[in-house]
Amino acid sequence: MKNKLTIAARGDREIVMTRDFDAPRPLVWDAHTKPELVKRWLLGPAGWTMPVCEIDLRIGGKYRYVWKKSSDGHEMGMGGVFREVSAPTRLVATERFDDAWYPGEAIDTTELAERSGKTSLTLTVEYESREARDGVLAGPMSSGMEAGYDRLEELLFSLKGTKR
Amino acid sequence: MVTDRSPALDRVFHALAHPARRAILRQLTNSERNLSELSAPLRMSFPAASKHVRVLERARLVRRRIVGRSHLCRIEGEPLADASKWLEGYREVWERSYAALDELLEEMKVKERRKRGNDPS
């Protein structure tokens, strides 16, 4: 199995990511659902830590993540509610960022399939509208501007003083 | 809301969403072409091709200049470069996280093996 990340738009409102892992499914499930493990890898760009990682893993339970940029202390929070918890196969939760960088709420569906001790992960993020989804893919850039990785870091994780 | 949501980039993605428009862009990659030249290989009517070119123009992917009765079209590469840069950045963030997850999973596998090794049953 190749371990390459694919990202693609699907239908009107979805972004689908796939990635394979050289590990059995129960381990990949645990890495996605135990807070002490999630904070080890769900890091975002370089220079950010994850001081808050709370997971109440049950239908109707809440999760909350907060990332913090080490250089200036800026924080980015997000969270949601679990809609489906089917270990070790399927996890469905809502998602909303404190400083919204897309309109409304999204629904994250994580699906794990195992073959010969290796796991395929599919993460589907469904946005409220096509515009919201396209905005995530297109990114908050004005035409003609250079958007380096630093700028992505700024915009993705620290939207301050947003104006519309 | 996102600070500088770009309707301009929305137009780029809308423009690229149609296969005929992608075909038009491919034709323009290395040369300027007029509308008749663009519509012929697509077996498309002139007004249909013109409509697609207008969408591409609004997305600033194509620029048109009129010489006599000819509408000469050429590709403008910069908006496409911008769009792909964003997507690459988004991808890099996720690739970094999943690379860290790869390392964590290796650690977890070692721990599992050790646990099983210590368990005589």
Q: What is the ipTM of this complex?
A: 0.81
Say how far apart CA B51 and CA A108 lie, in whole Å. Answer: 37
Interface residue A132 vs chain B (CB under 8 A): no
Interface residue A139 vs chain B (CB under 8 A): yes
Mean pLDDT of chain A: 83
Candidates A17, A6, A32, A132; CA nearest to A89 is: A32
Q: Tokens in use for A25?
A: 């499914």
Mutation for A interface: B13, B56, B98, most A CBs within 10 A = B98
Q: What is the pLDDT of residues B82-107, one digit of tens each?
A: 555 556 667 888 888 999 999 999 99
Candidates B20, B1, B26, B4; CA nearest to B80 is: B26
**pTM listed for this prediction:** 0.64
Nearest residue in chain A measured CA to CA from B91: A7
The residues, any chain, with a CB within 8 Å of residue B6's CB and separated by 6 or more, are: A138, A139, A140, A141, A142, A143
Interface residue B102 vs chain A (CB under 8 A): yes
Rg (CA), chain B: 24
Supply the pLDDT for residue B15.
Answer: 82
Supply the pLDDT for residue A108.
Answer: 97
Encode chain B (121 residues) as per-residue pLDDT tens digits. Answer: 444 556 776 777 788 778 888 788 878 876 789 988 888 888 888 889 999 999 999 988 889 899 998 989 988 766 555 555 556 667 888 888 999 999 999 999 999 999 988 766 6
Interface residue B84 vs chain A (CB under 8 A): no
Place of tokens 């001081």: A51
Half-sphere exposure of A40 (CA within 13 A, CB side): 19
